[in-house]
Structure 1
Amino acid sequence: MTTKERGRPRGFDADAALDRAVEVFWRHGYEGASLSDLTGAMGINRTSMYAAYGNKDELFRRAVARYAEIDMAYVREAMTRPTAYTVIEAFLRANADALTRTDRPAGCLSIQGGLACGSDNGHIAQFLAASRLAGEAALAERLTQAVTENDLPAGTDPVALARYVMVVSEGNAVHAAAGVDRAALHATVDFALRAIPH
């Protein structure tokens, strides 16, 4: 390969193509997204896809990372709120809004993407579960800080509280994918927030 060939641009916007792959995986899940679906949506051929992103598994992992960076930016914003209650409220409210955006598929990529995974021996489902648990651990860390600062009552279990918040979020994601509307998801958040000490 010559220097000129190595330096030649790909001829497509890699981030834009990845964003289109996110949507395909989100709508169809890992199993349901065929290479033809992916390359068609991305506007590239298979050779270009393999060169830019690797195989389907690697493309999916990059799509999930892109989804976390772009579509879940609200999580990072929520974590900056001054109190545990406002962190949780901001997260659950923004999550309900994100799950019901009209310009995106309903629900959540990390839930939808792993449905009906079978042929890969569960690797994708395990990857997605690990991703969700990493988010739960980050929330638990923030809530541990709140306990230390006496923002949450002494004796509050930050790990169990983080798990509760994620169960509400993930449950809302399943319901959103089934067609439940934004107002109904926010009504669930209203109930969930009553359990948050503040």
Structure 2
Amino acid sequence: MAQVGRPRSFDRTQAIDDALLLFWRYGYEATSLSRLKAAIGGGITAPSFYAAFGSKEALFKEVVARYMETHGRVNDPLFDEALAPREAIASALGRSARMQCDEQLPKGCLVALGTLGSYAEEDSSIPLPLREARARIRQGLLACVSRGIARGDLAEDTDARALATVFEGLLLGISPMARDRVELPVIEGAIALALTLWDGHQAPGRSVV
């Protein structure tokens, strides 16, 4: 009779949190199965790992979902229409910078850094959860800029996609800066400077809100 993995003796939510920290710190490729087995539940066997999660790729998808439900919520202001669009972008950028520089967490952002180096195969499904997460943030930024134009905060001829892409580039760029230990006040200064691009596209007679 084939031997099966021993019953799970670990808390599954905690196991995903343990795996999240590893993928966040090392990325998908460098987070080996042996590292995962050693970290989860104080150490589990390979049969137990596969019985619980199916595969490393499947676990990674659960990790990304968990990240977006927790740390990734720093970007929630982008989807809060009760906030003025400029305020929503400023809040999301600031919250993300503080999270990525938090000394109690791995530096940077899992969404930005989690699969660097794993794009060798064009049809690889491994980066897909992060591509989807980045697409959601991209859409949120574009929605804020478009809403700013619709409200009359920004000039009608503002290139919404270009301005949103500037903010997305800064958001993604915070991750390597955080890993290189660029100080939070420096990053916050960059955010403030980037927001002057919004101010430069204000509709005539509008003030910064």
- Shorter-normalised TM range: 0.7 to 0.9
Relative to 1, partners in 2 of residues 1:72 and 1:194: Cα closer, same or farther, differing over 3 Å? same
Select the residue among 158, 176, 187 that pairs with 1:185: 187
Give the match for residue 79 of structure 2: 79
Unaligned runs of 5+ in 2: 1-6, 200-207
Give 1:32 deviation, angstroms. 0.3
Please say which structure displays the higher CA radius of gyration.
2
TM-score normalised by structure 1 residue count: 0.85
Give 1:100 deviation, angstroms. 0.4
Relative to 1, partners in 2 of residues 1:85 and 1:45: Cα closer, same or farther, differing over 3 Å? same
Give the match for residue 136 of structure 1: 138
What's the % identity of the aligned pairs?
A: 31
Unaligned runs of 5+ in 1: 1-8
Give the match for residue 157 of structure 1: 159
CA RMSD in angstroms comes to: 2.1
Q: Distance in 2 between matches of 1:137 and 1:46?
A: 39
Larger displacement relative to structure 2 (177-186 or 71-80): 71-80
User: What secondary structure does 1:72 align onto?
Assistant: helix
Q: Distance in 2 between matches of 1:101 and 1:154?
A: 38
Select the residue among 33, 40, 43 that pairs with 1:42: 40
| Contact kept? 2:89, 2:144, Cα under 8 Å | no
Q: Distance in 2 between matches of 1:137 and 1:155?
A: 19
Give the match for residue 65 of structure 1: 65
Give the match for residue 5 of structure 1: none
Larger displacement relative to structure 2 (26-35 or 184-193): 184-193
Give 1:121 deviation, angstroms. 5.6
| Contact kept? 2:154, 2:198, Cα under 8 Å | no
| Contact kept? 2:75, 2:92, Cα under 8 Å | yes
Relative to 1, partners in 2 of residues 1:86 and 1:120: Cα closer, same or farther, differing over 3 Å? same
Q: Distance in 2 between matches of 1:16 and 1:92?
A: 28
TM-score normalised by structure 2 residue count: 0.81
Give 1:118 deviation, angstroms. 5.6
- Give the number of aligned pairs: 190
